[in-house]
Amino acid sequence: MADAFIQHPGEDQSNDLRRRVTQTEPLTLKTFTPSLALLERSAGSYHYTPEGRKLADFSSGVLVANLGHNPRSWWRRVIDYLGIGHLQDAGEYVHAAPLTAYNAVTPLEVQANERLLANIRGEPGGSRMEQVLWAASGSEAIQKALWAAMAQDSKRNIIVATRGGFHGKKGLAGAITGSETDKERDPRVRFISFPKFECADVELRRQAIDLELYQQELDKLSSEIGDEICCLVTEPYLGGGGSYHPQPEYLQLLQQFCRDNNALFILDEIQSNFGRTGPMYAFTHYGVEPDMVCLGKGLGNGVPVSACVGPAAVFEVLQYGEGSDTWSANPLSSAAVLATLDEFESNDVIVRGKQLSPIIEEGLVALKTTGVIENVRGEGCVWGIECAGIGSLEPEEAANDCVEACYRGDAQGRAIHLLGPLAGRVLRVSPPLTMPEDELREYLEVMRGIFANLRLQTR
């Protein structure tokens, strides 16, 4: 409805654009975020509204801009890979890489394959990775991984997924998202428990986990349908499910279950790859060796690209066209992947991200003193803060108020961009890995002040 759009005081240009987008797009195109921020420009760790307001980006564009927004050296690399760095052609057309190469092969595609495989095989746990099945979005990469897994043996068609995960909204990726109670499910999908209680707060995660109940659940599943399971899919941490980061022993248990039942172990690293949890890939510090790993988001630093990476023997069961689509391995995406790999391999991005992690933890734990936050959990540069109720507000209402208050900013005009709450009450905090440490500390303190003020206003 055109008269129901989100508005903010003092944002005439943004409010006009909000009104116009409400008239020209259905609301279903976006996930609800109380701010509905208008982002006209972005640079480094910041967004800017049409009015010129500066917002510290604590979302990295939903875990995508790991290198920050529009880094100059990254853009130069992308342009150079495409061959348009120096436009000297006097004619109408520019001699550069095509932007579409459907059912063809480009040198950029081959180079991206080889560079990505070399990078991932150079990490502990990456030895199984031999080929890249490209896609354009995370859910498509998951879909292709599941197609490959189900094609291995016609007698094995059961997919096991961890309850509460998010793998996408399309096809089988949507079927393994959430739990069996969310909606009518594909009968081939079974869900198992994820240890939310054991990692509900960062301090709990540091304690040893008792795996007995999870082992019993897996043993029961194995005895009932073990010879029908083709794969098990999980995330290193539950992202959309509320930012739950388990102890490594849990993922190791799942991997062993797959090995014992001759099932493929698929790790959904769409969110966690390229330094987000600390190392280049999360599987390295979780101590597992997946059969297939799905990559996305930070893989292209803003250019839409994803991939399922795995053994050649797994992919060879798919015939011509069974894993294809219009945009897979397109030259622009390939150039973006190459440029992103260049930045990670030639700079200290991983080191910088790891240095930010304790700063984020310290700043977020300090939010508990405001009475607005009750649990903090995360690792690397991806964290979740779980809101408590504020006065008469339920936690879900308080979480939305926190997002809006951060968007509007403090008395000095310092503002923070957050996305809508995860699982109703959890706010994700995931700045770029390249954010300067002093600026990160400043804006974490800004957040603490905003939350404290919000607490006072709602008493």
Q: How many residues does the chain have?
A: 459
Across 257-265, average pLDDT = 98
Q: The dihedral of CA 49, 50, 53, 54: what is its sign? A: positive
Residues 44-76: pLDDT tens digits? Answer: 999 999 999 999 999 999 999 999 999 999 999
What integer pLDDT is reported at residue 302 of this predicted model? 96
Which of 248, 243, 234, 245 minimizes the C-alpha distance to 285? 248
Give me 182's structure tokens. Answer: 């969310």
**Exposed, middle or buried: residue 345 (CB in 10 Å: 0-12, 13-18, 19+)?**
middle
Cβ(291)–Cβ(311) below 8 Å: yes
Element (H, E) at 306: strand 306-310
Quick count: other Cβ atoms within 10 Å of Cβ 27? 12
CA dihedral 64, 69, 72, 74 (to 10 degrees): 0
CA dihedral 399, 421, 63, 246 (to 10 degrees): 100
What's the distance, Cα to Cα, between the start and end of the chain in Å? 33
Q: What are the b/e assignments for 283-296, b being 16+ CB within 10 Å?
A: bbbbebbbbbbbbb
Cβ partners under 8 Å of residue 310, min gap 6 = 128, 129, 130, 131, 133, 145, 148, 291, 292, 293
Residue type, 418: L
The yes-or-no verdict on residue 2 having pLDDT over 50 is no
Residue 136's pLDDT band, with cuts at 50, 70 and 90, is very high
Residue 320's pLDDT band, with cuts at 50, 70 and 90, is very high
3-state secondary structure of 373: strand
The DSSP line for 312-356 is HHHHTTS-TTTT--SSTT-HHHHHHHHHHHHHHHHS-HHHHHHHH
What integer pLDDT is reported at residue 90 of this predicted model? 61
Residues 339-383: pLDDT tens digits? Answer: 999 999 999 999 999 999 999 999 999 999 999 999 999 999 999
3-state secondary structure of 226: helix
Cβ partners under 8 Å of residue 6, min gap 6 = 18, 34, 35, 36
Longest dimension (CA), the chain: 71
Return d(Cα 415, Cα 155) in angstroms, integer: 55
The yes-or-no verdict on residue 3 having pLDDT over 60 is no
Return d(Cα 208, Cα 211) in angstroms, integer: 9
Q: What are the b/e assignments for 432-442, b being 16+ CB within 10 Å?
A: bbbbeeeebee
Return d(Cα 339, Cα 80) in angstroms, integer: 9
> For residue 74, is it left (φ>0), alpha (ψ between -120 and 50) or beta?
alpha
Residues 402-420: pLDDT tens digits? Answer: 999 999 999 999 999 999 9
What integer pLDDT is reported at residue 1 of this predicted model? 40
What integer pLDDT is reported at residue 87 of this predicted model? 62
CA dihedral 215, 266, 32, 16 (to 10 degrees): 160
Quick count: other Cβ atoms within 10 Å of Cβ 122? 11
The yes-or-no verdict on residue 233 having pLDDT over 60 is yes
What integer pLDDT is reported at residue 91 of this predicted model? 64
Beta-bridged to residue 428, according to DSSP, are 384
3-state secondary structure of 231: strand
What integer pLDDT is reported at residue 212 of this predicted model? 97
Cβ(328)–Cβ(136) below 8 Å: yes
Residues 157-173: pLDDT tens digits? Answer: 999 999 999 999 989 99
Report the topology of domain 2-71+349-457.
Answer: Aspartate Aminotransferase, domain 1 (3.90.1150)
Return d(Cα 57, Cα 411) in angstroms, integer: 19
Cβ(46)–Cβ(432) below 8 Å: no
The yes-or-no verdict on residue 85 having pLDDT over 80 is no
Residue type, 8: H
Cβ(343)–Cβ(360) below 8 Å: no
Residue 86's pLDDT band, with cuts at 50, 70 and 90, is low
What are the respective helix, strand and coil percentages of the chain, to the nearest 5?
Answer: 40, 15, 45
The yes-or-no verdict on residue 280 having pLDDT over 60 is yes
Beta strands in 152-228 (DSSP E): 158-162, 189-192
The yes-or-no verdict on residue 141 having pLDDT over 90 is yes
Beta strands in 248-298 (DSSP E): 264-269, 292-295
**% of the chain exceeding 90 in pLDDT:** 92
**% of the chain exceeding 70 in pLDDT:** 97
Return d(Cα 335, Cα 210) in angstroms, integer: 45
What integer pLDDT is reported at residue 84 of this predicted model? 87
Q: 27-36, 276-285, 351-360, 437-446: which range is least confident on average?
A: 27-36
The yes-or-no verdict on residue 288 having pLDDT over 50 is yes
**Do 2-71+349-457 and 107-346 fold alike per CATH?**
no
Q: Indicate the CATH number for domain 107-346.
A: 3.40.640.10
Return d(Cα 279, Cα 252) in angstroms, integer: 18
Q: Domain map of the chain by residue range?
A: 2-71+349-457, 107-346
Return d(Cα 129, Cα 292) in angstroms, integer: 7
